[in-house]
Amino acid sequence: MTNQSAFKIILVLSTLFFSNISFATPVVGSVSTATGGTGRGTVEPTDSVLLNPAIVAQIPTKYFSFNYSKDQMGLTISDNGRDALFPAALALNRIEVDHLQTQNIAVAVAYSLLPRLSVGLSVGLVEYSFDNSVNDQKYRQTVGDFGATYAFSKGFAIGLVANKIFSSKSDVDLTLQKQRTMGFGTNYTYQNFVRFRFDVETAPDNKIDRMVYMAGLETFMNDWLIIRFGYQNNNVLAKNFTSAGLGFAGPQFALHYAYLSNPANSDDNRHSVDLGIPF
């Protein structure tokens, strides 16, 4: 058997394995993870930028965030300060599972069409790396996402996201690539004490036969301490996830922790921690 043939067999087996985990809730940050994967319509500087590029225009400062969990790390720098020509963000996200490493470097730009309406576009360079004893293969793909947000009031907003509105060709199997989906998110804050979050996302190729439903609750104990709970009904994976977390949002820095659990399979459980610094 030639090395090329052996690699093709390993690639097929990897596809069968990773296709079971490709559509799990995206690991973008501890705030989103703790609230069931929500955030497409919530202005949260720590990780919502990764879910909806239009949110960059709603963050009034420069912000740095770093996320870490098992087999995954990411960092984001967003700039919407006074000296910025336009709202923009730079994000790096890396996930490594078994012999597959996925790295995404993305640039997001946003613009406020109206005081309450913002749109944004992100363009990312995704690199898929297969590391095994037979052969090392790397594939690259350019992917674009579009997002929009509208704030009805200070405590009520919605967001819409179209993932993978364009992409370059890649030899990587479609099940391993970033999927073309549509997402909607909303949040409502009641008397600065509790915030309700709800998101929904289509199945790959924008199919609506297997939707992903996400719900989250944030309780603001005081100006700095936040307790979070979340639930996700993922009909693409046929799995249900529960989550919880704790956040400290101080004036100089923020720390957030999340725990994601699948009651039916403990292999899906994971911890996540974030550091956020406004500057």
- Considering the domain boundaries, does residue 9 fall inside one? no
Kindly report, residue by residue over 214-232, the tens digit of the pLDDT.
999 999 999 899 999 999 9
Cβ(22)–Cβ(16) below 8 Å:
no
What is the per-residue pLDDT for 22? 41
- Considering the domain boundaries, does residue 6 fall inside one? no
- Considering the domain boundaries, does residue 64 fall inside one? yes
Q: Which two tokens stand for residue 33?
A: 């993870």
- Considering the domain boundaries, does residue 19 fall inside one? no
- Considering the domain boundaries, does residue 21 fall inside one? no
What is the per-residue pLDDT for 176? 79
Strand partners, 82: none
Number of C-alpha atoms within 13 angstroms, CB side, residue 187? 25
- Looking up tokens 């609750």 gives 217
Strand partners, 63: 78, 278
- Considering the domain boundaries, does residue 2 fall inside one? no
Strand partners, 125: 105, 142
Q: List the domain range (segments joined by +) for residue 243.
A: 28-278
Helix (H, G, I), strand (E, B) or coil at 137: strand
Helix (H, G, I), strand (E, B) or coil at 71: coil
Kindly report, residue by residue over 169-193, the tens digit of the pLDDT.
988 888 778 899 999 999 999 998 9
Task: Specify the CATH number for the domain of residue 262.
Answer: 2.40.160.40
DSSP code at position 262: -
What is the per-residue pLDDT for 260? 96
Q: What are phi and psi of 49, to 5 degrees?
A: -60, -30
Which whole-number Å values give the CA distances from 76 to 83, 176, 266, in the listed order?
19, 23, 29
What is the per-residue pLDDT for 19? 36
The number of domains in the chain is 1
What is the per-residue pLDDT for 161? 98
- Considering the domain boundaries, does residue 5 fall inside one? no
- Considering the domain boundaries, does residue 1 fall inside one? no
Kindly report, residue by residue over 40-63, the tens digit of the pLDDT.
999 999 999 999 999 999 998 999
Per-residue pLDDT tens listing for the chain (279 residues) = 444 444 343 343 333 333 334 434 455 799 999 999 999 999 999 999 999 999 999 998 999 999 999 889 999 999 998 888 899 999 999 998 777 889 999 999 999 999 999 999 999 999 988 876 555 678 899 999 999 999 999 999 999 999 999 999 988 888 778 899 999 999 999 998 999 999 999 999 999 999 999 999 999 999 899 999 999 999 999 999 999 999 999 999 999 999 999 999 998 999 999 999 999
Q: What are phi and psi of 54, to 5 degrees?
A: -65, -20
Q: Say whether pTM exceeds 0.75.
A: yes
What is the per-residue pLDDT for 40? 97
